Structure 1
Amino acid sequence: MSPYVKTFHAIEIGDGADGRWAAHVRSAMAKPEGWLTEEGRTPEGAAKARQLFDTHMPELAPVLDRLAEQLESPQARTLLTMATVRPFFSGCTQIGHEGTLLRNYDFAPDHCEGTIVSSQFLRPVLGMQEAGWGLLDGMNDAGLAVSLTFGGRFVHGPGFAIPLVLRYLLETCRTVDEAIGKLRTIPIAIPQNVTLVDAHRSLTVHVGPDIPMTEAHDACAANHQHLPVPDEQEQTTRTRARLAAVRAAGVDVPSMLRPPLYQCGYDQWLGTLYTAHYRPAEGRVTYHWPGERWEHTIGGFTPGSRTVALGLPGDGNDRGRRCSGPWERAVPSGLRRARGGGESVPGGRTRGNSPAVAGDETARPAAPGTWPRPSV
């Protein structure tokens, strides 16, 4: 029996105005300062964040205002721009091919929100929510699907957290080409890989604060970009090995549910939390775990909950055996924060030894997934 279980929730929030979205996120959003940079907690920083949002995502401005009006904290509006948040990192492997997007999301079980959301802000969108209204992966009613992975380089600059960018692309674009046109102009705060799929094209691009958007050789991604990661980081994350494995396997769900693509390093923030198989032309996604699956469609979404065991049979307590060392060891020493007994994060949980970019308070990361779960 796996030592980890996680409950995933599926909720429907409509256009966000009827209180269902606010009820889900309100307790975490009561203390948004835990996610904001030092500058983001100032009036000047808040104004800059809103200006950046209005410049690059004007179509979503009415939605942001509608959501923010339902929250008590005056800093919640700034947090919703996701233009001044502390950096955070995750694992993941993904591939797009012939109208299908398949991905593993790897992270710490307690710090992934685990909420599948059906929304109609500007159009019908379905995906795995993160950071209030961002998305880790998702699709829209036009047949476009997108997902993200961390790009493996520990740099941070001005720009947006990628979950909101994925939301924006799905709300405003119908095709991969449209999404690429918009993505090319949006500043991204940390290195990320984005895989995009529609009925006619599959593509992965590398983005980040220090590089122009760059198309990858194929529609696959793990946790590096155009250059290999340092040897110690490769030993920990096995990003090159995973990329080679997903290329060899293709769009194959069983391959994603076994090593090396399925990872059990949950204590190292590198365990596979779910496999998502999107068929956007059908408006259909299936979330997979070993021995378990949960399917949703845009046209026939059904709210509910599902509790699953994480890990593979026979793992026992050897939770980190597929990883050679803690994820923190892969972070350059100059970017690590001091290790300690944990740090309070929004939502009232405690974060332990997380992957980090540190040095000053502004750069210290916030762990994703610390948003509240519905009371059940």
Structure 2
Amino acid sequence: MQNVKSDILTFRGTHYDYGVAVGTWLKQTKMLKNREKEWRKRVPRFDIDVQETQAIFQQFAPQIWDEIRGIQDVLNIPTRQAILNFAHYRFTTLPDSGCSVFVGDHYLVRNYDYHPATYDGRYQLFQPTDGGYAQIGPMSRTTGRMDGMNEHGLVMAYNFMHRKKPANGFVCYMVGRLILEYCRNVEEAISLLKRIPHRSSFSYIVMDATGAHAIIEVTPRSIDIRHDQTCTNHFKLLTHENRNYTKESEERLARLESQIPTSSPDKFDVFKRFNNPQYEIYSKLFKSWSGTIHTSMYDPTTLTAWIALGESQAPIAFDFRAWLDGKSVERVTLHGQLDTDIHFATE
């Protein structure tokens, strides 16, 4: 069992200055060296087009492009390298991974299942002053988000579906960031997902402060919407797009649904069932790119976020509304345990 930690960092200001702060933090970690090693192992299966990437960001996310420039300036790296590591457009396809989500009455719980060596180990609260919405959640690949909530109470998480037939487009963690950055509710999130280009196939689960929610099944070719409470790693509507092997995902979904009470389950009980391995929703398949790294929960009505790093942990609460009103966050790190010897990307 390995002790792990995640830094908690807060920032209020412009996207460029936020990028500078993030770049300064990155220089204190081993993340860039670790990424360089990974790129040597896995030659990127895509082309970098500086002008095309800049144009797509100017169309959909000009402020995030400013953030990338801030990171680039601090790290003193070429634009092509900044795009490779931080833009997440026309990115390589992803290995198989897990993730489970339950949507309750004004709350959402999810397990983030992936490979620890890709995990940033940073929990971020960011309140921009130059456009875009404030957001809270764990960082993914520096500029992305794998789940989170914004100032309007829009909650987002995503689940991997398959790697078949990728196209030019944004990858999941940048798509997640765009949803939090620019959408106030479920309707706007669906509209954004219909407009932007997608690299791979994912389900994006969104919930807003009214209690509305949707599971949006997305591929580079099509999009469909359902309103179930549960989601693992297979499509229910775009079934022709599913992987050939969905047995593990279907079995995990069955375990999830059998573990959750059918009538008004308590959100902390649901969280416990997601985070404690004895309920068989939490996964330890870290070497297979599908081990649970964190369990998160969001309540959009109170703007409260909870997270636990690793297994069998009490959830740590963050009062996002109080932080937006100017109150500081006293906690500086999250701690937990993972049953693996694989280290985070920053270590």
In structure 2, the partner of 1:12 is: 10
* 1:286–1:59 Cα change, 3 Å: same
Q: Is the counterpart of residue 292 in structure 1 residue 304 in structure 2? A: no
> Per-residue displacement from partner, 1:112-136 (whole Å, max 9, x unpaired)?
2221111123332111101111001
* Matched-pair contact (CA < 8 Å) for 1:102–1:253: yes
CA distance in 2, matches of 1:285, 1:137: 11
Residue type matched to 2:218 in 1?
V
Deviation at 1:109, TM superposition (A): 2.6
* 1:37–1:56 Cα change, 3 Å: farther
CA distance in 2, matches of 1:99, 1:162: 24
> Per-residue displacement from partner, 1:254-306 (whole Å, max 9, x unpaired)?
22134321112223222211110111222211113303332223234334123
CA distance in 2, matches of 1:204, 1:172: 18
Pairing partner for 1:40 from 36, 47, 67: 47
The TM-score, its normalising length taken from structure 1, stands at 0.73
Residue type matched to 2:251 in 1?
A
* 1:77–1:268 Cα change, 3 Å: closer
* Matched-pair contact (CA < 8 Å) for 1:195–1:204: yes
CA distance in 2, matches of 1:305, 1:273: 15
* 1:120–1:273 Cα change, 3 Å: same
Pairwise mapping of residues 26-105 of structure 1 onto structure 2 (< 5 A)?
A: 26=27, 28-29=31-32, 34=39, 37=44, 39-41=46-48, 45-58=49-62, 60-74=64-78, 75-79=80-84, 80-89=86-95, 90-105=97-112
In structure 2, the partner of 1:227 is: 239
In structure 1, the partner of 2:214 is: 203
> Per-residue displacement from partner, 1:17-48 (whole Å, max 9, x unpaired)?
1643112234645777938846534xxx1222
* 1:155–1:39 Cα change, 3 Å: closer
In structure 1, the partner of 2:326 is: none
CA distance in 1, matches of 2:274, 2:298: 14
* 1:108–1:77 Cα change, 3 Å: closer
In structure 2, the partner of 1:325 is: none
In structure 1, the partner of 2:24 is: 23
Deviation at 1:234, TM superposition (A): 3.5
CA distance in 2, matches of 1:204, 1:36: 33
CA RMSD of aligned residues (A): 2.8
* 1:114–1:171 Cα change, 3 Å: same
* Matched-pair contact (CA < 8 Å) for 1:187–1:208: no
Residue type matched to 1:277 in 2?
M
* 1:152–1:11 Cα change, 3 Å: same
Aligned residues between the structures: 309
Residue type matched to 2:239 in 1?
L
> Per-residue displacement from partner, 1:217-252 (whole Å, max 9, x unpaired)?
514221111328566x345xx111222333441651
CA distance in 2, matches of 1:36, 1:98: 44
CA distance in 2, matches of 1:102, 1:155: 30
CA distance in 2, matches of 1:108, 1:77: 23
Pairing partner for 1:255 from 268, 273, 287: 273
Residue type matched to 1:292 in 2?
A
Q: Is the counterpart of residue 134 in structure 1 residue 144 in structure 2? A: yes
Q: Which runs of 5+ in 2 are unaligned?
A: 324-328
Q: Is the counterpart of residue 271 in structure 1 residue 291 in structure 2? A: yes
**Structure 1 residue matching 2:198: 3-state secondary structure:** coil
* 1:113–1:61 Cα change, 3 Å: closer
* Matched-pair contact (CA < 8 Å) for 2:54–2:65: no
* 1:270–1:60 Cα change, 3 Å: closer
Q: Is the counterpart of residue 115 in structure 1 residue 127 in structure 2? A: no
In structure 2, the partner of 1:166 is: 176
**Structure 2 residue matching 1:69: 3-state secondary structure:** helix
CA distance in 1, matches of 2:289, 2:220: 24
Q: Is the counterpart of residue 283 in structure 1 residue 289 in structure 2? A: no
